[in-house]
Chains A and B, each alone.
Chain A
Amino acid sequence: GAVVSQHPSWVICKSGTSVKIECRSLDFQATTMFWYRQFPKQSLMLMATSNEGSKATYEQGVEKDKFLINHASLTLSTLTVTSAHPEDSSFYICSARDSGFLTDTQYFGPGTRLTVL
């Protein structure tokens, strides 16, 4: 199957700093990528839908000024957590949609563990 990578796999930062997480589709082009947040023992919560070349669509309750999303190319989307605080500590997962003539599947990245001190 298709591969989606995330970088970094984990990051520890101080409160008030910004952190950028990259999501790449390695062997296919993804016009649409999704960003999720997952707290321990909970399901994945969709934060936003990232579309190449246009503004991201955020889910209700997600602050667009705090979670900046950029989808500059068909293989890369970035999520920047601005002015991070301890409550932003979570597991952030991206997925990339591979939609072609015979397929329409989302592939997930391995996740990024963010810890804000």
Chain B
Amino acid sequence: GESVGLHLPTLSVQEGDNSIINCAYSNSASDYFIWYKQESGKGPQFIIDIRSNMDKRQGQRVTVLLNKTVKHLSLQIAATQPGDSAVYFCAEISESTSYGKLTFGQGTILTVHP
């Protein structure tokens, strides 16, 4: 089922620092993972994805790491900017699930201070 959090974890960083946002998942059958960024009052925006046959994937300023052994996912943002301030969600899909239903994690609030 979905993950619901009443108090989202928060991460505060200074502009220019690197940020690491973590996510734990519970379904060992999940084989596709996505990180989304959600700004206030907007829908989630795709950042980067990774399949279970990989342990690392890099994008522009972002890197996703997957550790299937401990069922852990992380998003690394290099040289964090004020515009990166948002809520970040990880999501997982099991290919055995019909229609690609996403299960969202709790979310982390990232605040970048100038």
Task: Report if A and B associate in a common complex.
Answer: yes
Shortest Cβ distance from B8 into A: residue: A41
Q: Does A8 contact B (CB under 8 A)?
A: no
CA distance A108 to B101 in the complex (A): 13
**How many B residues touch A, CB cutoff 8 Å?**
29
- CB of A41 within 8 A of CB of B42, answer no
A-side interface mostly: strand
CA distance A42 to B45 in the complex (A): 16
Among B8, B41, B101, point to the contact of A113 (Cβ < 8 A). Answer: B41
Shortest Cβ distance from B103 into A: residue: A46
- CB of B89 within 8 A of CB of A44, answer yes
Taking the closest CB of chain B, its distance from the CB of A49, in whole angstroms, is: 5
Taking A34-B101, A95-B44 as known contacts, 17 extra A-B pairs with beta carbons closer than 8 A to each other, sorted by chain A number, are A1-B46, A32-B100, A42-B5, A43-B4, A43-B5, A45-B2, A46-B2, A46-B102, A49-B99, A57-B99, A60-B1, A91-B41, A93-B44, A95-B43, A107-B46, A109-B43, A110-B43
A-side residues, CB < 8 A to B, are 1, 4, 6, 32, 34, 41-46, 49, 51, 57, 59-60, 91, 93, 95, 97, 99, 104-111, 113
Give 23 pairs: A residue, B residue, CB < 8 Å, sorted on A.
A6-B43, A41-B7, A42-B4, A43-B4, A43-B5, A43-B8, A43-B89, A43-B106, A44-B2, A45-B104, A46-B101, A46-B103, A49-B99, A49-B101, A59-B2, A60-B1, A93-B44, A99-B100, A107-B46, A108-B36, A108-B44, A110-B42, A111-B42
